[in-house]
Amino acid sequence: MISRLLQWSDRLAWAGAALAALAMALLFVLMLSEIVSRNLLGTSLGFSWEVSGYLLGLIIFMASCWALRHDKHIRITLLREHLPAGGVRWLDLLATLIGVIIAGFFAAAFVGFCLQTWHSGTVSSTPQQIPLIYPRALMALGLVVFTATLIVRALVLVAAPKLMADQKRPDSALPTEGGS
């Protein structure tokens, strides 16, 4: 069961990373368009800075799951380097549980913020008046998925820590259909 939960988490992380990569490509195209517009046409695209900020938020929150799952988050390794393997596991579990609390708080707050935005119909204060529910909902989704990824990580660290070591295998980089 833990293995299937980890597969589900991997698939969510992969989907988040794919969405973040798409947002990164859109951000590149948007900024390139802004540069071309300013230099060739002498005018700025009014929406480019606002939309680029939304895309950046999406990239950060959606890519976090992939980074966590593949140990790409920044870590202070001073303590980890001096602990035995069992100690590192418990330190990871403690850090993960603290992460669950923090990410869970932010996810709940952001979901509430999105519901408030949806009910009030809030739009951006720029001339484009972009409905804020769309970028906020995508960022909230990223936070919810990140929180779920942290919860799964904590369960794996407690119930099947060997599966965490398996994540470093090259064949575990993409989601698979079969059980492992």
Tell me the mean pLDDT in the region 25-31. Answer: 95
Q: Give me the pLDDT at residue 146, please.
A: 93
Q: CB–CB of 133/117 below 8 Å?
A: yes
Q: CB–CB of 176/7 below 8 Å?
A: yes
pLDDT tens digits along 37-89: 999 998 888 888 889 999 999 999 899 988 888 877 777 677 778 888 778 88
Q: CB–CB of 13/68 below 8 Å?
A: yes
131, β-bridge pairs: 123
pLDDT tens digits along 133-179: 999 999 999 999 999 999 999 998 888 777 776 555 444 444 444 44
CA nearest 145: which of 97, 103, 96? Answer: 103
Look up tokens 């698979």; give the residue.
176
pTM of the model: 0.80
pLDDT of 124 > 80? The answer is yes
